[in-house]
Amino acid sequence: METGRFITFEGGEGAGKTTQIRLLADYLLTKGIDPVLTKEPGGTEVGLELRKILCTGVEDKFDAVAEALLYYADRRIHMQNKVWPALKRGRWVLSDRFADSTMAYQYYGYDKRVKKELLDQLYAMTVGDFHPDLTIILDIEPAKGLARSLKRNSQAVEKEIRFESRELAFHENLRRGFLEIAETSPRYVVLNADKSVDELHRDIVNVIEERLLRNHA
Ligand code: TMP
């Protein structure tokens, strides 16, 4: 039996991941693939409670180590209850963020105050040898991404400003982090997200066709 594909989307604030995932899902449907759309944090019911703890409130309510532990708790529940079962059933899963976000935010973003080894250990303990088939990193200048993200948040009922309120330097570290992570494996593709929604969608479709659809039965 063929198993599904796990595709993760990463990037800083306001890079357009959520919109692009929805567009990609519509495109995949035209190819006869009905993907599961999910996100971290908050891909499960318990995860949504963790998301509220993580993304609302004041910035310094806990440190980066505590944050990493909570993200990994969310991830473990997400993998066990949703992602792995869906992949086993042959479904494609598109996730708005995954473990690279923990490395980028809690390690690079905080200027390496959390040990990289700790994050690697948490990954091994929680996810094991499993990795996404493809990770698309949407890259945008932090100032531009933050402006988009703050605009979206000003219209939201529940404000998730815990991270957007961090200073620009944090977001610049974050961007550098994602670019460094992308160098470590061919499973990463970095796309310039500073373009129109339609143009970026076309770039993403090209990557999916090249990497995953060409060999898909
Ligand atoms: P989102 O706004 O893209 O849904 O992401 C929620 C916030 O959580 C975003 O500011 C990034 C942050 N985050 C981390 O800091 N570490 C993680 O491991 C994940 C998955 C998200």
- Distant-in-sequence, close-in-space partners of 158: CB < 8 Å, separation ≥ 6: 52, 56
Look at residue 161 in the predicted model and tell me its pLDDT.
Answer: 65
Ligand 1 pocket: which of 17, 97, 103, 110 to mutate (most atoms <8 Å of CB)? 97
Rounded CA separation 127/112 (Å): 22
Q: Kindly state the average pLDDT of the residues 191-206.
A: 97
Confidence check: pLDDT of 216 > 70: no
Give exposure, 109-129, as e/b (b: 16+ Cβ within 10 Å): bbeeebeeeebeebbeebbee
Compute the mean pLDDT over every residue in the chain, rounded to the nearest whole number. 93
Query: What amino acid is encoded at 106 in this protein?
Result: Q
Ligand 1 close to Cβ of residue 8 (< 6 A): no
Work out the pLDDT band at 173, boundaries 50, 70, 90.
very high
Determine the atom of ligand 1 nearest the C-alpha atom of 72.
18
Work out the pLDDT band at 2, boundaries 50, 70, 90.
low
pLDDT top residue among 216 and 134: 134
Nearest CA to ligand 1 atom 10: 163
Look at residue 176 in the predicted model and tell me its pLDDT.
Answer: 96
Q: Are strands 6-11 and 93-96 parallel, antiparallel or unpaired?
A: parallel
Nearest CA to ligand 1 atom 21: 101
Determine the atom of ligand 1 nearest the C-alpha atom of 99.
18
Task: Give a three-class secondary structure readout of the chain.
Answer: CCCCCEEEEEECCCCCHHHHHHHHHHHHHHCCCCCEEEECCCCCHHHHHHHHHHHCCCHHHCCHHHHHHHHHHHHHHHHHHHHHHHHHCCCCEEEECCHHHHHHHHHHHCCCCCCHHHHHHHHHHHCCCCCCCEEEEEECCHHHHHHHHHHHHHCCCCCCCCCCCCCHHHHHHHHHHHHHHHCCCCCEEEEECCCCHHHHHHHHHHHHHHHHHCCCC
- pLDDT for 57-87, tens place per residue? 988 889 999 999 999 999 999 999 999 999 9
| Closest residue by Cα to residue 139 from 71, 210, 195 | 195
- Expressed in angstroms and rounded, the spacing between residue 128 Cα and the centre of ligand 1 is 21
Nearest CA to ligand 1 atom 18: 102
State the pTM of this model.
0.94
